[in-house]
Chain A
Amino acid sequence: MKILVGVKRVVDYNVRIQVKADGSGVATDGVKMSMNPFDEIAVEEALRIKEAGKADEVIAVTIGPKVCQEQLRTALAMGADRAIHVETDDDIQPLTGARILKALADKEEPKIVLLGKQAIDDDNNQTAQMLGALSHWPQATFASEVNIEGESAVVTREIDAGLEQLSVDLPAVISVDLRLNEPRYVKLPDIMKAKRKPIETITLGDLNVDAAASVKVLKTSAPAKRQAGIKVESVDELVTVLKEKGLI
């Protein structure tokens, strides 16, 4: 059984985002880039399923310009067996991304596609669900536990009401949430070993995928900021101000 796992290159989690003054986007020149944290969890889960003897091969895939191969190398160093780079300089939105992943799934025939529930740049939270729709596969989003049981999987999902369990037939697409696992640290020998693992580069044309209609970004602006308030010195003072505002 194969697992296909999606990896996206994004501005690192710890970077303080700066909106460009001309409204054309956020500053990315010279900014640290990393694998989307949710995708790291997806890679880790794929590896754990393989290590438990329930999968034979973990294939990492990314979509984007040449530099995205850095993130594929990270996935390979974590333990993925091979990688596919769908190379494009275009802005790939979720629906097109889902079409690409569907084309790859048709070709590779994985039993599970594992994706992060959202990327921390666009925060769309769409690609896994769209892939599920296009493939007519089940989806289990926001997973905090995944148990593979033969030809199906029982997935615990973190939803607003609590923890929901779904049973889905395989093949299925699963999007992962933060508490699913803690990704492993990559050790230096693994980084060296990863350099010898294969990365296949293909294009949208090779996959016969047409870009979907896209949402047009007209401008990017800084959010309205909350003003810092005051420090109160005592609980009495706090109670007084909250009472004055009618809040307690």
Chain B
Amino acid sequence: MSKVLVIAEHDGNQLNGSTARAVACASELGLDAVDVAVLAADGAVVADQAASLTGVSTVVLVQNPANEHAVAALLAPQIEALASDYSHVFAPSTTFGKDLMPRVAAHLGVPQISDIMRVESATVFDRPVYAGNAVVTVEAAEGIVIGTVRTASYAAVGQEGSASIETRELSVELPSHTRYVGLQTSGGSDRPDLQAAAKVVSGGRGVGSEENFSVIYKLADKLGAGVGASRAAVDAGFIPNDHQVGQTGKIIAPELYMAFGISGAIQHLAGIKDAGTIVAVNKDADAPIFEVADYGLVGDLFEVIDELEKAL
């Protein structure tokens, strides 16, 4: 029997939306079952959420105080122990999955397929290279297939499932060489999560300062949108790193993406090419962002946002 195990991403309370997208990809493999593994300190709530994902057969719940925070060096040996029942182990290609899965693959002695964007068969996949400027079709090596899923390429599965939850005790020795210290988030916001938001309003270098970014937040709140930024805006300190959209930030696929004062470096475009509709507002009529925008408007972003707010 061939089965795929999808490693759930969560924060201890809430299943991250990327998991449902990874399950969508895993469901396309055409295997006998799609299972989800929840590794947590206290994972009952997250396991219930995972069990409701459409298409999932079994949720494997591994509870250990060491799993309170997702530390790759601690999670990898546990996943290695679970992997023997599976032909495939997938995780979302978020910073969680990117950090974790190569460690699992190397423990198992197999190569990994990163950023799966299309499933041709259970062993043949498409993935982007060169910041998405080329796509390679690759065939996995013999043995277990370890992969990460480019979540922007897949819509989340629904929540009509009723998987069984199976608690597993693992007798694996975990290393003590890595300790979680803390996490700073931009926090305390009611805004939708950037990677799950249907609409995203983004600002770039053209916004000019941290103070000026308030106009981006204001418009986003009016639209019920998440807030994104270009690398230039993050580098300049206008906004924290967890808002960065692009090849080295978040790769997103909202229905509406509105870019203000973003010129459109290749690395930024790599993060938005799956958006439904792209709107770009920029002073420079030759900005590369206009080459991918469905609707472009040449003008001062502050004036445009002001007018937009009045019109909404």
A interface residues with partner B (beta carbon < 8 Å)? 11, 16-17, 19, 26, 93-95, 98, 117, 120-134, 136-142, 144, 154, 157-169, 172, 177-179, 212-223, 226, 228-236, 238-239, 241-242, 245, 247-248
Chain A neighbourhood of B107, CB < 8 A: 133
Chain A neighbourhood of B141, CB < 8 A: 213-216
B290 and A168 contact, CB distance less than 8 A: no
B130 and A120 contact, CB distance less than 8 A: yes
In this complex, what residue of B is CB-closest to A38? B248
In this complex, what residue of A is CB-closest to B124? A218
B293 and A123 contact, CB distance less than 8 A: no
Known: A123-B128, A162-B241, A229-B294. A167 touches B102 (CB 8 A): no
Tell me if B155 is interfacial: C-beta within 8 Å of chain A. no
Q: With contacts defined as CB atoms under 8 Å apart, how many contacts are there between chain A and chain B in the complex? A: 250
A178 and B231 contact, CB distance less than 8 A: yes
Tell me if B268 is interfacial: C-beta within 8 Å of chain A. no
Chain B neighbourhood of A221, CB < 8 A: 134-137
A142 and B72 contact, CB distance less than 8 A: no
A168 and B177 contact, CB distance less than 8 A: yes
Chain A nearest CB, measured from B160 CB (Å):
25
The distance in angstroms between the C-alpha atoms of A228 and B241, with both chains bound, is 29
From B96, B104, B111, B175, A159 is in contact (CB under 8 Å) with: B96
From B111, B124, B134, A94 is in contact (CB under 8 Å) with: B111
A213 and B137 contact, CB distance less than 8 A: no
Known: A123-B115, A159-B96, A232-B297. A226 touches B182 (CB 8 A): no
A126 and B177 contact, CB distance less than 8 A: no
B105 and A158 contact, CB distance less than 8 A: no
In this complex, what residue of B is CB-closest to A99? B106
| Most chain A beta carbons < 10 A, residue from B142, B178, B199 | B178
Total residues of chain B contacting the partner, CB 8 A: 87
From B98, B187, B240, B293, A125 is in contact (CB under 8 Å) with: B98
B184 and A229 contact, CB distance less than 8 A: no
Chain B neighbourhood of A223, CB < 8 A: 128, 132-135, 273
Chain B neighbourhood of A212, CB < 8 A: 109-111
| Most chain B beta carbons < 10 A, residue from A19, A133, A245 | A133
Chain A nearest CB, measured from B100 CB (Å):
8
The distance in angstroms between the C-alpha atoms of A146 and B179, with both chains bound, is 15
List of 9 A-B pairs having minimum Cβ-Cβ separation, nearest first: A229-B294, A129-B102, A133-B106, A130-B106, A162-B185, A213-B141, A165-B181, A126-B102, A17-B133
Please classify the interface of chain A as helix (H, G, I), strand (E, B), loop, or mixed, using the class held by over half of its residues: mixed
Chain A neighbourhood of B20, CB < 8 A: none
Known: A125-B98, A212-B109. A228 touches B291 (CB 8 A): yes
From A17, A161, A220, B185 is in contact (CB under 8 Å) with: A161
A-B contact pairs, 17 of them (CB 8 A): A95-B105, A95-B109, A95-B110, A98-B106, A121-B129, A125-B114, A129-B72, A129-B99, A132-B72, A159-B96, A161-B185, A165-B181, A165-B182, A166-B179, A214-B111, A223-B132, A238-B279
Tell me if B57 is interfacial: C-beta within 8 Å of chain A. no
The distance in angstroms between the C-alpha atoms of A38 and B113, with both chains bound, is 21
Chain B neighbourhood of A235, CB < 8 A: 297, 304, 307-308, 311
The distance in angstroms between the C-alpha atoms of A220 and B136, with both chains bound, is 4
Known: A161-B183, A218-B124. A231 touches B241 (CB 8 A): no
Contact mask for chain B residues 278-307; partner A; CB cutoff 8 A; 1 contact, 0 none: 110000000000111111111000001001
Instruction: With A215-B141, A221-B136 given, name 14 new contacts (CB 8 A).
Output: A93-B111, A95-B106, A95-B111, A123-B129, A133-B102, A160-B95, A164-B182, A167-B179, A178-B235, A212-B111, A216-B141, A231-B297, A239-B311, A239-B312
Known: A17-B130, A217-B138, A223-B135. A238 touches B297 (CB 8 A): yes
Known: A136-B175, A226-B292. A242 touches B103 (CB 8 A): no
Chain A neighbourhood of B135, CB < 8 A: 220-223
The distance in angstroms between the C-alpha atoms of A119 and B131, with both chains bound, is 10
Chain B neighbourhood of A177, CB < 8 A: 248
Chain B neighbourhood of A218, CB < 8 A: 124, 136-139
The distance in angstroms between the C-alpha atoms of A183 and B103, with both chains bound, is 28
A217 and B136 contact, CB distance less than 8 A: yes
The distance in angstroms between the C-alpha atoms of A126 and B129, with both chains bound, is 14
In this complex, what residue of A is CB-closest to B305? A235
The distance in angstroms between the C-alpha atoms of A158 and B287, with both chains bound, is 28
Contact mask for chain B residues 128-162; partner A; CB cutoff 8 A; 1 contact, 0 none: 11111111111111110000000000000000000
The distance in angstroms between the C-alpha atoms of A157 and B101, with both chains bound, is 17
In this complex, what residue of B is CB-closest to A158? B241
Known: A213-B141, A226-B273. A247 touches B304 (CB 8 A): no
From B106, B139, B180, A215 is in contact (CB under 8 Å) with: B139
Tell me if B71 is interfacial: C-beta within 8 Å of chain A. yes
The distance in angstroms between the C-alpha atoms of A132 and B132, with both chains bound, is 27
Tell me if B256 is interfacial: C-beta within 8 Å of chain A. yes
B134 and A167 contact, CB distance less than 8 A: no
Chain B neighbourhood of A144, CB < 8 A: 241
A120 and B308 contact, CB distance less than 8 A: no
A236 and B311 contact, CB distance less than 8 A: yes
